[in-house]
Amino acid sequence: MVEPENSTENSIASKLVLEAALLTAGQPLSLDDLLKLFAGRMERPTMRMLLDELKLDWAEKTLDLVTVATGYRFQAKPQYSPFIARLNPERQAKYSRAVMETLAIIAYRQPVTRGDIEQIRGVAVNPNTIRQLVERDWIDVVGQREVPGRPSLYATTKHFLDDLNLRSLSELPPFEEFAQNEMPI
């Protein structure tokens, strides 16, 4: 197709280029990725505007254009999930409570060491627990605490945010919500 130029007619063409790229990506595309589509002939504000328009274009259709930590992606609207799920009857096994609690501690208290996690949970951390989360690419080591033994500091990854449909950690439910009583000072 002809390279779109700057005019109303061609901004529609550009929007369709974005749409095709996002629909075929299968993973989030960042603004930088999307700018490559136009070989540097588009400004960021224009791009953002087109993406907003695209979101509206799809409002009445089957997919949502959402923004997550690493960029933009199309995903099925939630009402279709129960149907689509039937195509994959083999559901992923649920994570154990130990895994989810460890993840919650890392998400809300990061960066933390294994010792920090053990202190909060009151039990030793099973290395398997950490490994499962690392393999899922939900957490990684971001450094070492400068104390004897230089323990690894764990934090959540952007992929974790992507998988939970979040743009940033601040979109997690606030931790205070979970406190059952006023914390004693």
Minimum CB separation of residue 140 from other proteins in Å reads 17
Q: Nearer Cβ to other proteins, position 47 or 161?
A: 161
Minimum CB separation of residue 7 from other proteins in Å reads 27
Minimum CB separation of residue 56 from other proteins in Å reads 17
Q: Nearer Cβ to other proteins, position 14 or 156?
A: 156
Pairing of strands 139-144, 71-76: unpaired
Q: Nearer Cβ to other proteins, position 75 or 152?
A: 75
As a whole number of angstroms, the distance between CA 52 and CA 155 comes to 31
Q: Nearer Cβ to other proteins, position 42 or 162?
A: 162
Tell me the DSSP string of 43-70: -HHHHHHHHHHHHHHTTTSSEEEEEETT
Which residue from 166, 121, 111 is spatially nearest to 143, judged by alpha carbons?
111
Residues that bind other proteins (CB under 8 A): 22-27, 63, 73-76, 78, 80-81, 84-85, 91-92, 94-95, 97-98, 100-101, 103-105, 107-108, 119-124, 162-165, 172-173, 175, 178-181, 183-185
For tokens 């083999």, name the residue.
90
Looking at the DSSP bridge assignments, the partners of residue 71 are: 68
As a whole number of angstroms, the distance between CA 91 and CA 86 comes to 9
